[in-house]
Structure 1
């Protein structure tokens, strides 16, 4: 088991900050205390990480926030929420857009480590698990947001995506829809949403036509349009489409209008996230809401507690989604 700075502090009966000062040879510490800490370091075989020591002893009050797509309203609103709460706690941010790209993720993590940020907040879509594991081994504060990472003991503030997909399917089924299309990007959170969606179908003895369970490569209005066109060209077209975010759902609505298909009379549409785009499009979008403001608050509370050394155990905070009913979904009897 790897010896950490917390182990040294506990054994030497001093604070983590004191251990950091001994390592960095800074601050006013008595010779007696300094010798005791050094002795414990030697006895435990602790190898101090330069970055971690700098973080504990010389905080920059800056946090690295890695976002996969700032063009997606969910991520821009989430970044704003995190930043707002961070400012209240006197923290600044370096926000990096990774485009779901491994090379960019590596580049930004390396750059932010060089700048000795106090910690990393990694948003949903960050799939570079090797870098996550690396940061954890280096004792750098890390919090995942809008996704969980069960294979690691990493701090996370996540949404119950399974429940979100289940709510979406249940709402459509209650309104009589049985022929339903799905549009989703292949990401961990969306796979959970699809799993919940399928669970609700199974409980009602329903199955999706294989064509109606479609995974796209991008999150954009254009991607939503393309996939919608693919669905609606079929004679057995769906009566409803579930898009795994509001951006894709907006593309569904736009393509339907281009084809002369009326939403919701001819096609019901339900999205996910409850971003500003859900109220801008016409008709206003029924969607599964993520508690973005609460997410930002919980992330910052957790991050600051880790930076201050107040938490030694991994925390997973799971938030619940809610169904927001608007005008893009109607009962199947009205769709005929």
Structure 2
């Protein structure tokens, strides 16, 4: 069975060069050298001993991704981008944990990561301030918090985790402003009632924009309560149910921002079943820009996060801090963009 020295001898390079390839440190390597090493590995049918590497370093070449539920298409899209960034850019695998925002499930997943030698995790949680996250960090688990930013762009010595987020206030602002620009004068933000940081910030941006346009008394937040906490797996059904609530309102909105695209899709289906036309009677804007948004009728206008860039940053920061623990945690805030489709009435129509 070939070993790393055999590969180095066949490729005409040092053992350390082969080690650099195995550990994803190829950014300073000449392309011809990399190709020779990869060809030698194929020719010799060489496969690195990952168990031996873990014993040597105390770490597995893996990172964790903790999400509330993969059923939610926005979290599925995030998982895909994180997996691509980790695998293609760094040679890391991703272990996925569905935790449904339950503290015991989150804690169990963190413990499982540690026991398998995984020392880095991207966390999507309703509250990164929970004590079990701090305890895991103190035990040596490096974390990046997704979509929970409070300020953005700052670096402090006291932060335990990097934070990577879309500017959620700006997302709410962009959606509200587009409805107003297209002539909507009774607007509403429709959401599940449980609050996360990101949900609160979207609502804040929406209400601030309404007030700035003289629509403070013509804007409202319409909430529905899911059966399970935060409603991550129930958004389409909740949107369909809330359509009935909206259709019965005395002051019915003619423009709606939905907390995410899945709720917006359920809402549009519910409104259609009640004979309410979208966008002729009510315009709808979603947030997240999931792939289904362009396939429904009418195709959904949505606020899009730069998901690939955010995933690349999270993985890069995680691996950088794993290799250089003295680097201080930072916050990274990404600007969303509006993807215009057909679910909002055009101003002059």
The offset of 1:214, in angstroms, is 2.1
Structure 2 residue 294 is the aligned partner of structure 1 residue 293: no
CA distance in 1, matches of 2:181, 2:219: 22
Identify if the C-alpha distance between structure 1 residues 165 and 315 changes in structure 2 by more than 3 Å, giving closer, same or farther.
same
Structure 2 residue 83 is the aligned partner of structure 1 residue 83: yes
Q: 1:182 aligns with which of 178, 183, 189?
A: 189
Runs of 4+ in 1 over 6 A off after TM superposition: none
Q: What is the 5 A alignment of 1:243-262?
A: 243-262=258-277
Q: What is the 5 A alignment of 1:52-201?
A: 57-88=57-88, 89-127=90-128, 129-148=130-149, 152-185=159-192, 186-201=195-210
The offset of 1:121, in angstroms, is 0.8
CA distance in 2, matches of 1:184, 1:228: 12
SS at match of 1:139: coil
Structure 2, unaligned stretches of length 5 or more?
1-53, 152-157
> How high is the TM-score relative to the length of structure 2?
0.75
Identify if the C-alpha distance between structure 1 residues 153 and 199 changes in structure 2 by more than 3 Å, giving closer, same or farther.
farther
Identify if the C-alpha distance between structure 1 residues 126 and 81 changes in structure 2 by more than 3 Å, giving closer, same or farther.
farther
The offset of 1:196, in angstroms, is 0.6
CA distance in 2, matches of 1:216, 1:166: 24
The offset of 1:159, in angstroms, is 0.9
8 Å contact from structure 2 (residues 185, 218) kept in 1: no
Structure 1, unaligned stretches of length 5 or more?
1-53
Aligned length: 281
Structure 2 residue 325 is the aligned partner of structure 1 residue 325: no
The offset of 1:71, in angstroms, is 1.1
Q: Deviations over 1:271-310 (max 9, x none)?
A: 0001102112111100100111111111111111011116
CA distance in 2, matches of 1:100, 1:300: 22
Q: 1:264 aligns with which of 262, 279, 302?
A: 279
Q: Deviations over 1:142-166 (max 9, x none)?
A: 1112222669442111111011101
CA distance in 1, matches of 2:325, 2:250: 60
CA-based RMSD: 2.2
Q: Deviations over 1:116-152 (max 9, x none)?
A: 2121110253556212221232332111122226694
The offset of 1:55, in angstroms, is 9.8
CA distance in 2, matches of 1:316, 1:56: 32
SS at match of 1:121: strand
> How high is the TM-score relative to the length of structure 1?
0.78
CA distance in 2, matches of 1:193, 1:138: 34
Q: What is the 5 A alignment of 1:13-24?
A: none
CA distance in 2, matches of 1:230, 1:194: 19
